[in-house]
Every structure is written in structure tokens, then in C-alpha cells.
A and B are shown apart, each in its own frame.
Chain A
Amino acid sequence: MPSLIDRILEGREIQQRRPWPRAVVGAHLWKFVANELAQGRLSLLGLWGEPSTVHMAIMDEDTAEIATVSLDCPGHSYASIGRHHPPALRLERAIDDLFGVSAEGLPDTRPWLDHNCWGVRFPLGDRIDALSKPVPYRFLPVEGDGLHQIAVGPVHAGIIEPGHFRFTANGETVVRLEERLGYTHKGVEGLMTGASLERAVQLAGRVSGDSTVAYAYAFSRAAEAALELVVPDRAVWLRALLAELERLANHLGDIGAICNDASFTLMHAHCSVLRESVLRAANAAFGHRLMRDIIVPGGVTHDLSDEGKDIIQAALDNIRLRFPALVELYDNTASLQDRTVNTGVLKPALANQYAAGGYIGRASGRAFDARRAFAYPPYDCLRFEVPVLSEGDVNARVWIRVREVEQSLSLIDQILDRLPEGPSATPAGHRRAAREGMAIVEGFRGDVLVWLRLREGRVERCHLRDPSWFQWPLLEAVIEDNIVADFPLCNKSFNCSYSGHDL
């Protein structure tokens, strides 16, 4: 029996196949896909615009098949997906802000990224003058006795990124949280247009600093798919090493920071030391603590020396020695468990509906991990488990990270052990005709998607979709009926990216 994706693409002209098919569809099929998404038979991976086109990446979770469907919208409008499938709502609001292409029937037409500060509307579309009089942003109404509102941000109390949270509480209990994001919007996709590959990969690595490796990795893989470029084996393996080091450092930092938000600073202090040891090893081995600008189309810019290998190995040995005691400490501290267990529960149904990636999805029963689902090399040759829990609370999100730390340690061991010899890069070169490529890479936070079209060595259009797009809305859901004081815990256990989302 043909798969759902096959049936959608049947008889359509395939515009590209690198590595997944993309086809232009009509309004009828577009609506059919919307319905399949709403029924839960497909997952939404991304929805992005061009001046008169919208693209939607979808996945069949059972078979890990992916396709992109594109709809021409010369009239600058298309049938809303978000109307049937809420995960698309903010993406459609963003497309309207950036391109002036609007979703017909969209239930929420407030701007999202556009705060009326740019001096221009539709900056990637028709570029018309901004509204002369700013329209105040209307938060959703909340009615009832004894409710009060708490407005937080964009400048927060901690050392974190800017965003606004509007809480409505009844006493201590949160009855609604509404997020307002977009403060860190830098116009990355605008800067990408016309950029050389060198500049574009640099920009990609600055979409979300904590995932600089994952973004450069995804961008490079997409560019290589477009150019049909074969990357030397050694670079393929080094990239996975970089990705696992990034995952390790971030998870260690997060585990400590979550406990810190429950005022358990001992864990934070010890986890920070371990995180720092990873960053120092990365600096010694690759010349940059966050491993920025190492992955580029064609390979990596910094090869690993034997000495670098030893330094990484030593850092790993130290973590293996110290981490188990911290896990035990977490597990055996009742006052800490009291804060994390049953707090901020994300129901599996919601995680599935939003196709939530990373530890958020995996703590709520969604067993998706791009490394396993797509088995891109070298992960097809590596042994690892994808930990999954179903409780969906803060505690579960901590445990997924703990297990993933262990998996990353094992993966790094395997990589160092089997690292092939040979060159670590090949020249990227370029092609005259337009070429498209797409890639999905598992970052520490979830799956990062990059789609791009190159022409004569330059980027014609590039879209980068952070996993946070499908995680932020869920934070609004999990905080409901929790107390205000547990918000930091819920928020840190999600650790969504503001910059990656705002782009």
C-alpha cells in the first residue's frame, strides 16, 4: 500500500529530491494535508514563506518519511493551516509579518515578530512603510473573580534572553500564561538572502548560540545536499563529535540550572564545573569553547589532533567519575523531588500534536530523535539509545537529560575510537543553476531544520526552523494550574531558545 506521503505526491512534479521530495500542490491538496495534520496522521515540521509562495514540511511519524509541499499564492493569501492545526498558528503569523502573505481563516491575526519598530512592513516581501500609528498589542482577555496579572519581561531577572510573559493568576495558581516573543528578531533570513556560503554558515551558527554546532551542521548538510557534495569521512565523524560535545555541555548546564531554580545550588555548582570542563576541552581541541565556526559546507575548519583527542578523553573520564554522584544526589533529595515531580506536566497527546522535539517530546512519550529517525552518518554506524519517558513533568525532563548525558559520553567514546583518517574538508565549489537542499539535525534541544536554495554560489533563500517553535506554545499549556513560583522550574526544564525562535 502506498504511504500517505506517496499518495500526497502522486502525479505531482517533484521540484527537488535532495534529500526529500518537494512538490507544488494546489489549494485542494493543501487543505487535504491540513486535515491530515489535524487528524494526527502527519506531523508539521515547518511552515515558511517566500514573497508569493508558502512551503510546508510534513512528516509521517511511522515511516519517518518527509515531504515538502509548496503552494503558490499570487494573491498573497492561502488557506490557513493553523485554523485546523494550532502548531502552525505562530508560524503563519510570522509569515504574514515577514512576507505580507496572509493565512485565510487564521484565528489569531495579531502580528508576532513585527512589533512595529522596524520602520518597514513585510521586510522580506513588498517592503511597505510601517504603520504611522502603532497599534497596541492586545493580550488575550481573561475574565473571572479574584484574578490578577503579572507582567514579566522583556528584560528578565536572570541572565537570560528577552521575552515577555503575561501571567494571569488566581492567588498563587496560574490560570493563563501568554507569551509574547520576537524581541530578539535580527532578520537573519533577510541577511541570508544573497549571502555567500561562507557568510551564510557564519550567520547560521549565530541563530542560537547554545546550538551553534547544530545550526552550522544543519546548514552545511542542507548546502551539501543542494550541491551534491560528498564530505570526507573524517569530517562526518568529527561533526558528530562536535554535536555530542555541545549536547553534553548544554545538558550538564541545564540539569544544574533546573535544580538551581528550585534553590538547590549544590547541584548547580557541581554541574557548572562539569560543563566548564567540557568547554575547556572543546577549546583545547577545536580552538573555541562553544565550537563556533568549525562546521562549514564541505567539512570542518579545524581538525582534531592526537593531543586534542587525549584532552577530550580526559574530560570524559572526569565526568564519568563525578556525574553518577550528582545523579544520586538528585534522586535522593526529597525536597528537590518535591519541586520537580508532577510539576509542569506535558501530556503526551499535546507533545505529539505539536511534534515536540528533544527532551520535551521524549519526556512525554514522543520517541522521536532525528539521529535515529533519519540515521544520518555517522549515527547509522553508532550504538546509542533514545531514552523515552511518559510522565512529562519537570522530573522526567531532567531524567531524559541525565540519560542523554550518558549516551553522549558513550557516543563520544565510540567516535574517538573509530575516527577515520584522511582529509577533514573538501572545497564546496558552486553550481550555476538554482539548487535546493534540506537537512534536519538533532541539536541538544531538538530537531533543527534548514531549507535553502542556492544559485551561483550564493543563498537565494534560506529558512532555519528552531525546535522552540513547537515547544514555546506547550510551555503555556504546562504552567496552567501550577503555582507562579514553579514557573522558573517549568521554563528552565523546557529551556526554549528565544533567539532561535525570533531569528
Chain B
Amino acid sequence: MRKLLFESLFRRPFTEQAPSSDDTAVAELATAVGRAARRRLGRSLSIREVDAGSCNGCELEIHALNSAYYDVERFGLRFVASPRHADVLMVTGPVTKNMREALERTYHATPNPKWVIAVGDCARDGGCFAGSYAVVGGVSEVIPVDLHISGCPPAPTAMLRGLLALLERVDAGAVVP
């Protein structure tokens, strides 16, 4: 273990690897999210993830946000365990009828001011599951949504971009908390 930790001290962080065009985009986005988040909420923005019926693809990519490549925590963006600790709900999936009540209750358990990001094509309008007897549809059919991030699933960079867009809208006063 010591050897691994020691190596990490001297190795350049993964987030600053020689940039291809993609990596530059990540770095730019990351800096911008950092500035905007600080302006609005001091140094922290707590996010609660709610799977309202997804295929788990979006969850995989949200997990990736926490990896060393994207490392959202360095900006104070943190995933929390309870809606009671959250400023933002990131909701995935077409909302299934079996999850509708749980989503509503999670939303009501989140203190104001709060924002909702619907992550993925299914969260927008039910995606390819729309029309099923077991599916309500998009997240906005159940709770108010401030922002949609499309993709199936959206790449981690798209999600960072989405967080930035939300913060800018909040700053501009376009969203009434």
C-alpha cells in the first residue's frame, strides 16, 4: 500500500493528463462549475441521486463522476446519502408507476431551495419505455424539473456541463427556488 500511495504523490493527477480535445473540455467545464458553485452556494452543493426506474446505465455514468478523472468533489459537489441533506436531486429513468410515490416523497423530503435535474433520455419523456402500462413517463410528470440532460446514458462530461447550466440559470434568477 505504501508503494502505491508513494507513487501517487509523484504521479501527475489523472485529471491533468496530457489533454486530447476531450480532456480539455473536461478541464474547462470543471473550472467553470467550480466558480459558479462557489458564487451561489459558498463551497458546496449536495446532490442526491434518485433512480426512479432506470436501466442502471445512468447510474454507472454518475458513478464515474466520482472517479479520479472527473472528481466532482474537488468543487464541493458532493453526493449525499439522504434527500434531507441535498440541494439537488439528480433523477434517472422513466418514472415507473411503482416508483412514483417514492420519488414524490423523496422530493418533499428535500429542503428548499432545491433543484431537480432529470438525467438521461428516459427521464425526459420516458424514452423507449414511454407508453408502457408500468411507466408514468418523464420526471416532470411527477415533480418540477429545472434541467434535462440528454443522452443514453449521458457521458460524465455532459453531466458536468449540465450542472454548470443549472448553476448559471440559478444565478440568473431564472429559477424560483
* Residues of chain A whose beta carbon lies under 8 Å from any beta carbon of chain B: 115, 117-120, 123, 154-155, 157-162, 182-188, 190-191, 199, 202-203, 206-210, 212, 253, 266, 269-270, 272-273, 275-276, 279, 283, 289-290, 292, 325-326, 329, 332-333, 497-499, 502
Measured in the bound complex, the distance between the Cα atoms of B127 and A333 in whole Å is 45
Most A CB within 10 A of own CB, among B5, B56, B59, B106: B56
Query: A158 contacts B129, CB within 8 Å?
Result: no
B75 at the interface (CB under 8 A from A): no
Query: A289 contacts B132, CB within 8 Å?
Result: no
Measured in the bound complex, the distance between the Cα atoms of B55 and A210 in whole Å is 8
Contact flag A272-B66 (CB < 8 Å), given A158-B81, A162-B99, A210-B57: yes
B69 touches which of A155, A187, A276 (Cβ 8 Å): A276
Query: A209 contacts B55, CB within 8 Å?
Result: yes
Q: 8 Å CB contacts to A: which residues of B37-84? A: 49-64, 66-69, 79, 81-83
Query: A273 contacts B59, CB within 8 Å?
Result: no
Contact flag A182-B98 (CB < 8 Å), given A118-B134, A159-B49, A276-B67: yes
Which chain A residues lie closer than 8 Å to B69 at the CB level?
Answer: 273, 276
Q: 8 Å CB contacts to A: which residues of B100-151? A: 100-102, 106, 127-129, 131-135
List the 4 shortest-distance A-B pairs measured between CB atoms, nearest first. A209-B57, A187-B134, A157-B81, A187-B132
B53 touches which of A120, A186, A283, A290 (Cβ 8 Å): A186
Which chain A residues lie closer than 8 Å to B135 at the CB level?
Answer: 186-187
Contact flag A159-B62 (CB < 8 Å), given A209-B153, A499-B54, A499-B55: yes
B4 at the interface (CB under 8 A from A): yes
A290 touches which of B98, B129, B131, B153 (Cβ 8 Å): B153
Bitwise interface map of B from 3 to 33 toward A, beta carbon under 8 Å scored 1, else 0: 1110000000010000000000000000000
- CB closest residue in chain A, given B126: A186
B175 at the interface (CB under 8 A from A): no
Which chain A residues lie closer than 8 Å to B96 at the CB level?
Answer: 183-186
Which chain B residues lie closer than 8 Å to A279 at the CB level?
Answer: 64
Measured in the bound complex, the distance between the Cα atoms of B54 and A452 in whole Å is 24
A191 touches which of B58, B106, B132 (Cβ 8 Å): B132
Which chain B residues lie closer than 8 Å to A209 at the CB level?
Answer: 54-60, 153
- CB closest residue in chain B, given A203: B128
B97 at the interface (CB under 8 A from A): yes
Query: B100 contacts A187, CB within 8 Å?
Result: no
Shortest beta-carbon distance, B55 to chain A, in Å?
Answer: 4
Which chain B residues lie closer than 8 Å to A183 at the CB level?
Answer: 53, 96, 98-99, 102
A498 touches which of B50, B56, B58, B67 (Cβ 8 Å): B56
Which chain A residues lie closer than 8 Å to B51 at the CB level?
Answer: 155, 160-162, 184
Contact flag A184-B93 (CB < 8 Å), given A266-B4, A273-B14: yes
Which chain B residues lie closer than 8 Å to A118 at the CB level?
Answer: 97, 133-134
Contact flag A289-B134 (CB < 8 Å), given A184-B99, A199-B128: no
Shortest beta-carbon distance, A334 to chain B, in Å?
Answer: 11
Measured in the bound complex, the distance between the Cα atoms of B152 and A329 in whole Å is 35
Measured in the bound complex, the distance between the Cα atoms of B52 and A142 in whole Å is 30
Which chain A residues lie closer than 8 Å to B50 at the CB level?
Answer: 155
Which chain B residues lie closer than 8 Å to A119 at the CB level?
Answer: 97, 133
B99 touches which of A154, A199, A253, A333 (Cβ 8 Å): A154
Query: B102 contacts A154, CB within 8 Å?
Result: yes
- CB closest residue in chain A, given B122: A206
8 A-B pairs within 8 Å (CB atoms) are namely: A117-B97, A162-B52, A162-B53, A187-B132, A191-B129, A206-B57, A209-B55, A290-B57
- CB closest residue in chain B, given A257: B63
Which chain B residues lie closer than 8 Å to A187 at the CB level?
Answer: 129, 132-135
- CB closest residue in chain A, given B23: A280
Measured in the bound complex, the distance between the Cα atoms of B155 and A499 in whole Å is 20
Query: B132 contacts A186, CB within 8 Å?
Result: yes
Measured in the bound complex, the distance between the Cα atoms of B53 and A182 in whole Å is 10
Measured in the bound complex, the distance between the Cα atoms of B61 and A253 in whole Å is 12
Measured in the bound complex, the distance between the Cα atoms of B83 and A80 in whole Å is 43
- CB closest residue in chain A, given B67: A272
Shortest beta-carbon distance, A296 to chain B, in Å?
Answer: 15
Shortest beta-carbon distance, A277 to chain B, in Å?
Answer: 9
18 more CB-based (< 8 A) A-B contacts, given A118-B133, A207-B55, A325-B3:
A117-B98, A123-B133, A160-B51, A161-B54, A162-B52, A183-B102, A184-B93, A184-B96, A185-B53, A187-B129, A188-B132, A191-B129, A206-B152, A269-B68, A272-B64, A273-B69, A290-B60, A498-B56
Measured in the bound complex, the distance between the Cα atoms of B25 and A445 in whole Å is 34
Which chain A residues lie closer than 8 Å to B61 at the CB level?
Answer: 289
Measured in the bound complex, the distance between the Cα atoms of B121 and A202 in whole Å is 13
Which chain B residues lie closer than 8 Å to A117 at the CB level?
Answer: 97-98, 100-101
Measured in the bound complex, the distance between the Cα atoms of B64 and A290 in whole Å is 12
Measured in the bound complex, the distance between the Cα atoms of B64 and A481 in whole Å is 34
Measured in the bound complex, the distance between the Cα atoms of B53 and A210 in whole Å is 14
Measured in the bound complex, the distance between the Cα atoms of B50 and A368 in whole Å is 35
B1 at the interface (CB under 8 A from A): yes
Which chain B residues lie closer than 8 Å to A326 at the CB level?
Answer: 4
Measured in the bound complex, the distance between the Cα atoms of B97 and A190 in whole Å is 15
Measured in the bound complex, the distance between the Cα atoms of B138 and A6 in whole Å is 50
Measured in the bound complex, the distance between the Cα atoms of B67 and A269 in whole Å is 6
Which chain B residues lie closer than 8 Å to A191 at the CB level?
Answer: 128-129, 131-132
Query: B102 contacts A275, CB within 8 Å?
Result: no
- CB closest residue in chain B, given A270: B4
